[in-house]
Amino acid sequence: MQPSTERTSFPVSSLLDGSVTDFDLFLSVKGEDILYAAPGYCWTRDETTRLLAHGWNDFRVDAVQASLVQMYLQLARLPLVEKDQAPAQRINSLQDLAASFTQCLYSGEVSVAAVHCGQKIAKGIVDCLMESQTSVKEISALMDHDQYTFYHSARVAVFATAMSISMGVTDEKHLQRIATGGLFHDVGKKDVPLEVINKPGALDQAEWQKMRSHPSNGHEALKAAGLSLETMEIVLHHHERMNGSGYPHGLQQSGI
């Protein structure tokens, strides 16, 4: 029986080792599409190699899931950071990678694949800084004002991790949750026009309202991602201030 929904081809060779897909993947068997992998499936190089060796070159994917497929393919095109690079060079490569990752977030959905990719980048940042804390001093200056928004999240992830290490945090899982929070902290800005984000002058009331909503919007977008409490708190409360003048909840430090 032919599927009632429109489907397109997806090359098996596009699947990256250790990546997660968040859309249905079907194999066409004797004219019928059979579900092979549901959303949340984690791929290994061995599995994709076996599929290709047996002549399975393409999956079928639902056309209605095109935005998720596009996000996965964008992330798959991000460059790898070689672990044999010296820490000073690697931290710059990770910064560039994180900026490109953030740009992908702004152009698509906050998908399971995106969260998984962000966590891998966060681990790379932690590994680099644990190897050499002084490498944080080597991150290069921003060259292009238009790229500030994308590099900002990368730098927050790096500096937040470096500060945590300098304060005595040694648990790598905890540091990875902090770095992940840095990468995703501004994800709510994906729905704020870049001309508002990069406006050189003061924002008007309507523009300011859009800006003030981004922590809550980002927190809402990540609710189903299964991220840690620490990461989610960074996303939601990174604009709070100790004197209570921040947003979105006006939290105030007590006991001083």
158 exposed, middle or buried (CB, 10 Å; 0-12, 13-18, 19+)? Answer: buried
Distance CA 24, CA 14 (A): 15
> Residue 48: which of 14, 74, 77, 23 has the closest Cα?
14
Please tell me the predicted confidence (pLDDT) of residue 3: 47
Q: What is the pLDDT along the chain (256 residues), one digit of tens a residue?
A: 444 579 999 999 999 999 999 999 999 999 999 999 999 999 999 999 999 999 999 999 999 999 999 999 999 999 989 989 999 999 999 999 999 999 999 888 889 899 999 999 999 999 999 999 999 999 877 656 568 888 999 999 999 999 999 999 999 999 999 999 999 999 999 989 888 988 889 999 999 999 999 999 999 999 988 899 999 999 999 999 999 999 999 999 875 4
Angle between helical axes of 214-221 and 205-212 (0-180°, round to 10)? 40
Distance CA 235, CA 183 (A): 9
Distance CA 33, CA 13 (A): 19
